[in-house]
């Protein structure tokens, strides 16, 4: 299976053109994380949230969590967008071309990661305007490494679901029973040490936990696990997710 750079490029380009032409989609995708950031940040401002690592302010704790949330939703949806292509018939047009399935998956990951990173960056910029300060250039680069890993991991997850589903009917179920639990159990909104022990076990199998922990470590300098450990776990998870996504995509039939 040869990997075609042109095919990856054109699939990426298509994704970008589509999102740039759907301004409402960008606004919609940004609105929820920004509302969370604004209202939770303001609402809990004067409250002492117990269990904060290193005693940081809640709002500082929240910013990386909200970036992670935006990445989670945006990249999972980008993975699931295969289903929309199936719905509108365009998937057949893609599948009938002599491009290796691996290239198709890589093109989609490139496109989805780019749009997710764009959203994450916008939230970061808005946070910085609002007074949030990352620790420095090196930590910013490290933060972007974690952001890319989070995006690719959940793109892979989206692809796995999209390849196993026939149509967009199951969309809501995946949102409610997969994406939201991943979001709430990742420690994006509160320190996980506040959860009862039996739930905390679940947080350890949630890959976003490690992605967010690493992102926090990079951006604000506090993390539960050593940052190298987070990096290792996220790298393995995104690699496995992408490979599984590619495997299931390859096996799925497009008609």
Partner 1 sequence: MDAINVEKLTKKFDGFTAVDELSFNVGTGELFGLLGPNGAGKTTTINMLSTLLKKTSGQALVAGHDIAKARDSVRKSIGIVFQETALDGRLTGRENLEFHAMMYGMGKAERRARIDEVLRLVDLEEKASTLAEKYSGGMKRRLEIARGLVHRPKVLFLDEPTLGLDAQTRRHIWDYIRKLNREGAVTIILTTHYMEEADTLCGRVAIMDHGKFVALDTPARLKDLLGGDVVSLEVEGNTAALEEALRGLDWIKKIKVYEDVFSLTMERGERRIPELIQTAQGLGVMVNCVRHRKPSLEDVFLHFTGRSIREENAGQRGRS
253 binds partner 1 (CB under 8 A): yes
Cβ proximity to partner 1: between 93 and 167 the closer is 93
User: Ramachandran region of residue 89, left (φ > 0), alpha (ψ -120 to 50) or beta?
Assistant: left
**Least CB distance from residue 31 to partner 1, whole Å?**
21
Specify the DSSP class assigned to residue 36. I
17 binds partner 1 (CB under 8 A): yes
Element (H, E) at 213: helix 207-220
**Least CB distance from residue 161 to partner 1, whole Å?**
21
The site string for partner 1 over 36-75 (x = CB under 8 A, - otherwise) reads: ----------------------------------------
How far is 119 from 170, CA to CA, in rounded Å? 25
All residues at 6 or more sequence positions from 198 whose CB lies less than 8 Å from its CB, including other chains: none
Tokens linked to 110: 């490139």
Among the listed residues 88, 177, 180, 204, the single contact to partner 1 using CB under 8 A: 88
All residues at 6 or more sequence positions from 132 whose CB lies less than 8 Å from its CB, including other chains: 59, 60, 63, 124
Count of residues of this chain found to bind partner 1 when the rule CB under 8 A is applied:
25
Cβ proximity to partner 1: between 114 and 235 the closer is 114
Give me the residues that bind partner 1 (CB under 8 A), please: 4, 6-7, 9-10, 14, 17-18, 21-22, 88-90, 92-100, 253-255
């Amino acid at each position: 299976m040869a990997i075609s750079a042109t095919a990856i490029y054109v699939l990426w380009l298509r994704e970008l053109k589509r999102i740039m032409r759907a301004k409402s989609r960008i606004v919609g995708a940004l609105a929820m994380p920004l509302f969370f950031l604004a209202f939770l940040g303001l609402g809990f401002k004067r409250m002492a949230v117990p269990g904060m690592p290193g005693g940081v302010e809640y709002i500082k704790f929240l910013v990386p969590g909200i970036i992670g949330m935006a990445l989670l939703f945006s990249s999972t949806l980008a993975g699931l967008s295969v289903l929309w292509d199936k719905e509108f018939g365009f998937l057949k047009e893609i599948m009938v071309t002599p491009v290796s399935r691996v290239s198709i998956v890589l093109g989609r990951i490139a496109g989805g990661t780019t749009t997710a990173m764009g959203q994450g960056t916008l939230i970061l910029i808005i946070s910085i305007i609002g007074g949030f300060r990352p620790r420095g250039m090196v930590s910013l680069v490290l933060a972007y490494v974690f952001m890319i890993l989070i995006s690719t991991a959940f793109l892979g997850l989206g692809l796995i679901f999209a390849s196993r589903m026939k149509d967009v009917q199951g969309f809501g179920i995946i949102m409610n029973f997969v994406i939201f639990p991943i979001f709430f159990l990742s420690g994006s909104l509160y320190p996980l040490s506040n959860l009862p022990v039996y739930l905390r076990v679940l947080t350890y199998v949630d890959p976003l936990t490690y992605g967010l922990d690493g992102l926090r470590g990079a951006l604000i300098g506090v993390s539960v696990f050593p940052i190298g450990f987070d990096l290792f776990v996220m790298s393995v998870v995104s690699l496995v997710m992408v490979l599984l996504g590619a495997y299931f995509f390859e096996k799925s039939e497009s008609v």
